[in-house]
Structure formats: C-alpha cells, structure tokens
Chains A and B, each alone.
Chain A
Amino acid sequence: MNFDFSDDQKLLRQAVRRYLEAHAPLSLCREALESGQGVSRALWEGAAELGWLGAAIPEAYGGGGFGRLALAVIAEELGRCLAPVPFSSSVCLATEALLLAGSGAQKERYLPGLAQGRCTGTFAFAETPGQSGLDSVRARVEDGRLTGRKRLVLDGGLADFAVVVALDSGRPVLVLADLSGPAVQRRPLASFDPSRPQAELRFLEAPVEGLGGGDSAAPLIERLLDGAAVLMAMEQLGGAARALEITRDFAVQRHAFGRPIGGFQAIKHRLADRWCDVELARSNAWYGAWALAQGSVDELREAACLARIAGCDAFTGMSEDMVEIHGGIGFTWEADCHLFYRRARLLSAALGNAAFWKRRLADRMARDAA
C-alpha cells in the first residue's frame, strides 16, 4: 500500500505551483472577475504551453499522456490560486468525454486542439433549477438536430463546442454540438463568481453528432460526472487549503485586546476544525483520484461521492470562516476573502450540489450492500 503521489507527480506539483505563483496571483482572478471577461487568456495559453490541458490526453492525440493523477495535481494547484480558466469545463468534462467515448475520428478532430488550448469545450446538462438528474432532461435530438435549452453551462459563453446530454427517441445520449453556428443562442448569466462565467445555451435544431454508441448513454454520463467530481474536489481542496493558510497568517498578524487574535481559543479551535475538514477532503479527494486513475468504475462510484461531499464541506466552511475571521476588512471588495467565498459557492453548485452527491452516495451504497 502506498497512499501518496509519486515522486514524479510531486515534482510536477512543484513546477505547477512555481509557475502559478509567478503567473496567477489572486489579482488575476480579481481582474477576470471585475472585467467581466471571466477568463485569463494569458494563463490559459500558459497552461496549454506547459502541457496541463493535455495531461491526460494520449501522446498520439497531441497530449502528454501523464494520466489522471497528474490531472488531479494540476486541478488542486489551479484551485489554490482560484485560476480564472475553463479547466473544469474544457479539460475535466469535454476532454474527458471525448477520451471516454469519442470515435477515432472525433478524437483526432478535437483532442489536439484541446491540448493546445486552440479550442475549448464544455458540458451542457442541467435544464431545470433544483434538478440534477437525468430524468429532468428535455433537450432532444431528431435526425441529427438538437433542440432544447441548457441552463447553467459553465464557460458556455466562450466554449467552441459542447458535449450535450439530450434524449434521442426517449433514451439519453451524448452529442457534440458546435456552438458557433446560427442555431445556437448563448445568454450570459449573472455568475455568483464572475471569474467563472456561466451561460444559458439554446439549441434551435442545431446540427450535432453522436458521442459514444450503445443503447443508453446513462452509464457513460455517470462515469463522466464521477470523474469530473473528483477533479473538482481536488480544485476545492486547493482552494480550501489556501484559504486556511491565508486566514491563519492573518490571525497571527492581526491584534486585538493586546494580543494576536489567533491566540484566542475561539479562533484557534475554529481553525483546528477547518484544518480537520481540509485533511478529510484531502484524503477523500486523493482516494477519488486514485480510483479515477485506476479506471475502476466500482470504486469510483463511491470515491467520487466521498471526494465531492468532503470538498464542498471543506471549501464552503473554510471560505465562510475566512470572511468572518478577517472581520470588517473581510467584508470589503478590496480584500481577497470574497474571491474564495464566491469560488467556494460556485464550485459547490457546479456538477450537482453536495446534497445531490450525498443522495447519490447513499443510493449506491445501499444498493451495493443489498
């Protein structure tokens, strides 16, 4: 047994962190948020050049072929700096969907561009507020044309194509839709975290092609969401750990009643509890990353839920305490606390919230135990 990343993966982590420390200060996230752009092109191009976008893409398709554990490491580091880039949508969802189900021709067409950052993809699933299941899907495909409305598409405003969940003759399918054509309307939504933009997509008989064959895409969609949940949990872990570090440093430096506020037990104990949350999130996310890299669907079914639940808990709780422990300054626009507060909220909602993943975990475990 060896529950740790390999030396190579640790070296990768160091390199990624060093690059991000130089090129992705929190001010980058702030710029993306304030400008309404929602993305840093420069960082995205840098990430592409360093091979991060194609980390899990085989070399034959222009990627680095480093595998999912490398992807997990990169996701965590991007999470630490609240990177304003479409990593989860394009790399963890669209690219993964193509890797899982794309035909040879589809892979050849899309993957090299995705690896180089020349094109970005996203994943379009949710339609009805409050519902995250397959049974809420109404978008339909008829004769290779997609009609329907997808709300809450992460980076839907900038992606070149989307992997869309729809129904074909009543059965769930995945299709690839080019988003540049006239049959697609995009409407930006007011994102709680404008450094991670969201959009609504309307398809009006847009031409699409199928992704993956088979009777039903349901298992494929489950698998795709599980994998993305693990990678997003790594991102959440990174954000939570960084928020804890910043808050801890503030608590040592800020004085009240003649001593550092970090000396008050109410603050110490709160941070100790948050540290525990972060460590539980780390253990669960690593386990998820292992299951994902291993390609063992059975273990991933449980591990993805564990990772996602612990990730939501840790980042949400930590970001709330971050604002609180900073006091008045924490409530200002100038302080960085709200960047974490916003990102934590957004990541908790994307991909189905914690409650969704909790029900999913209970359903799966109850079924497996039966």
Chain B
Amino acid sequence: MDFDDTRNQAAFRRSARSWLEAHAEPRAPGDPGPGNMPESVDAADVAAAKAWQQKKAGAGWACIGWPVEYGGRGATPIEEVIWAEEEARFRTPPDLMIDGHRTCAPTVMAHGSSEQKQRWLPAMLSGGEIWCQLYSEPSAGSDLAGLRTAAVRDGDTWVVNGQKVWTSHAQYSDWGLLLARHDPGVPKHAGLTCFVVDMHAPGVDVRPLRQITGGHGFNEVFLDNVRVPDDCRLGGVGEGWRVAITSLMNERSASLGDGGVDQVRDLLRFMKTVALENRPAIEDPALRERWADFHARARGVELTGKRTLTALSRGETPGPEMSLMKLVSGRLLQEVAHFAMDLTGASGGLAGDALTSSGVDWAAQYLGAAGLRIAGGTDEVLRNIIAERVLDLPREVRADKDIAFKDIPAG
C-alpha cells in the first residue's frame, strides 16, 4: 500500500505542472473549479473552452488517455488522474466537452468503424467539435429503453423524428450521440439503434430549458425529418442498447472526483467565520460532529476512488460498484449545502452569498446538488444497479418483458 507517485509518475507530474505553469494562471482559493458550469454559457465561454482545448492538444496534453492514433498519448489511468489534479490547480475555462470526451468518445472507440474513429475522435480531442448525448426523452429517462424517437431507413440514410430532452451542451454542440428506435415491433431493447447526428443538420431544433438554478445548461432537442447518413450509424442495427450501455457505464465511472472533499473543506472555513449565538459555529460540539460526519463520508468516497484507480491501473475494469461514487456524493453535497445555509439562520432563505460573503455560493450549490442526484441515473436507479449487480438480488419485476414495444401500455 502506498500513495506516493512512482519515479515515472513524479516525472510525469513535474512535466505536466511545468507546462501548465507556462500556459495558465494558478487558481485562487475562490475560483470555480473546472467542473463548475456557469449558469449560462455564452459565445465567449465556448471560444475560451475551445481555445484551451486546442492549446492542450497542440502540446499533447489533451485527452491523454486516448490512443496515440487519435491524438492522445496512451497515458495510464493514474497519469490521467495526475493530469487532472495538476490542471485543477490552474484557472481554466469551464469544461464544455466533458460529455464528449468522457462518454461519447469511449463509445465511438468501442463501437465505431475505423473511418468513424478517424473522422470524429481527433476533431473531438482538439476542441474543434463539441458533442452531446441525445438519450433522454419526455417519456424515457430511467427507463431509457422506452424511448420513442423513430429512425426509419430510406436507402442510404435514416429519417429521424422525435424529441429529446435534458440534453446538456446541445446549444453549442456539433455532434449528438443519438439513441433511436428503428423497430417498434420487437421488445423494447431489441428495437434500438445508435447514430451520430450532425447538430447543424436541417430539422434539428435546439431550444433552451431553464434549470432550477435559473441558468441554461440543458435543452430540448426536436428532430424533425432529420436525415442521418447510414455511415453515421454507430454499431449494428438493433445493437443500440449495447452501445448505449458503454456510454452509461463511462458516464457513471467518469466521476472519479474527490467526492466532495473540497466542499467540505470550504464548509470548515465557513464554520469558522459564521457566528451562532455569539461564537463561531465551529465551536459548537454538535455542529462539529456534523462536519466530521460529512468529512468522513467525503474522504470515504475519495479513497474509494483510489481503490478503483488501483484496480484500473492493473487492467481491471471497474463495474457496477462505481455507482457508489455518485450515489454517496450527490446526497452528501446536497446535505452540506443545506447545512451551510442553515448555519446562517433566517438568512438561509436567501439566494446568493449576499450576507455571509464566505466566497462560496451555498445557495447555488444547494440548487445544483439536486441535479447531481438525477443526471446520469437517479439515486433510485443507482441503488437498483448496486442491489442487482453487486449484491445479486432479484431483478425488478418487469411489466414490459417480451412484449413488442408498440404493445406496451404507456401513459
């Protein structure tokens, strides 16, 4: 057991840091981290994100875990983490390409033809093209395989009609990874096919949705007679579910983050400044205990990530146990933000950071955390995954098994 860098890793860390020092400003304590999305992304944000990605790509620091042939350097999972740790010390634009790089790209790598990989991956890596994930629909989220968007073959192209929703990044994306139904006459999982859709094609209509934060992160996407060439089909006809599973697994395992340790540390700082009955909150034993409980959970998630990383570095593939990370930290971040707001008494009903000036907008975090518990699989769905695939408990009772999709009762 050890937590030290090996000699090679230490050298890698040094070279990453020296490149970053030459090309970015160090992050000040209050600066938002790379995962923090602005309320609304404007053209300048997109340009900045693309420029930063291009700069990294030019120096070989973009998507370093990808194979060399697509522009990566075939770095190990540990090197990827080292890079992420180092990059997080610097002020960088919000990462608008995260879904493309972490979710869509592995899916293209696993299921794409070699032409498809050459066509899409290098452009994704260099920041030239942004991707989004067109999966959820108004009546298909947790039950994703119940989606209705239709893809009908017409010679060498497919004609797509339907509606996607909650699509993050769609408003500035160039490509969308689409899951659609090519055959409603077979059981629901069997009738799905995956495509890559040009988001600038005629018939693609992206409309902003306002989130509970007030900002605009996700969208609804209407697809009206959109023509998708057959060479943009990813995987075989009827293999859509298998393709989608690759991206869902990657989405859930992507968050090898620190589990909320940063936020819990911010909370400690906050508890030293905010006064409760004439003394700093940190001096109240009951509140100290709550803080310690948060910290132990956050560190537990972070350390569980290190166990996973150890497994990855031995070539093992992390499985359903990865669901723990998001399940525990989503709930934790919500509790932490709520607790912080509660410390301010009646002011805890205010938005923003007006009264406490702690440098942390707990109200925004409280709003944002609610979304974390839904995006990429709700808490309940993650619990089902753990119960069924880790603990091997009986599967959910399915009312739609072996029935042609068109005959499944809906409402």
Contact = CB atoms under 8 A, between A and B. Distances in A.
Nearest to A260: B394
Given A268-B384, A272-B383, A272-B391, A309 B1 contact: no
Interface string B276-296: 000000100100110111011
Interface string A298-319: 0000100110011001000000
Interface in A340-360: 355, 357-359
B303 A286 contact: yes
Interface in A280-300: 280-284, 286-287, 289-290, 293
A287 B310 CA distance: 13
Contacts of A363: 288
A279 B297 CA distance: 11
How many of chain A's residues touch chain B, expressed as a range? 35 or more
A259 interface: yes
A289 B269 CA distance: 28
B390 A361 contact: no
Given A263-B397, A309-B293, A275 B299 contact: no
Contacts of A309: 292-293, 296
A326 interface: no
Please provide the 7 A-B residue pairs with the shortest distance between their CB atoms, ordered closest to farther: A280-B300, A358-B292, A268-B387, A263-B394, A283-B303, A362-B288, A272-B386
A271 B387 contact: yes
A279 to B, nearest CB: 6
A275 B386 contact: yes
B143 interface: no
A280 B303 CA distance: 8
Contacts of A192: none
Interface stretch (A1-9, A96-104, A161-169): A1-9
Given A268-B387, A276-B328, A361-B292, A3 B306 contact: yes
A283 B390 CA distance: 17
B342 interface: no
Given A263-B394, A268-B393, A283-B301, 7 more contacts: A1-B2, A259-B394, A276-B327, A279-B304, A282-B307, A306-B295, A310-B297
How many of chain B's residues touch chain A, expressed as a range? 35 or more
B134 to A, nearest CB: 29
Interface in B26-48: none
B324 A279 contact: yes
Interface of B: 1-5, 9, 78, 265, 268-269, 272, 282, 285, 288-289, 291-293, 295-297, 299-301, 303-304, 306-307, 309-311, 313, 321, 324, 327-328, 380, 382-384, 386-388, 390-397
A269 interface: yes
B109 to A, nearest CB: 25
Nearest to A302: B299
B362 to A, nearest CB: 18
Contacts of B291: 362
B282 A366 contact: yes
A305 B297 CA distance: 12
A305 B301 CA distance: 15
B289 A358 contact: yes
B291 to A, nearest CB: 5
Given A272-B383, A276-B386, A279-B324, A359 B393 contact: no
Contacts of B282: 362, 366
Contacts of A293: 1
Contact of A369 (B265, B300, B311, B386): B265
Contacts of A269: 380, 383-384, 387
A6 B1 CA distance: 7
Contacts of B395: 263
Contacts of A272: 327, 382-384, 386-387, 390-391
A159 interface: no
Contacts of A280: 296-297, 300-301, 304, 324, 328
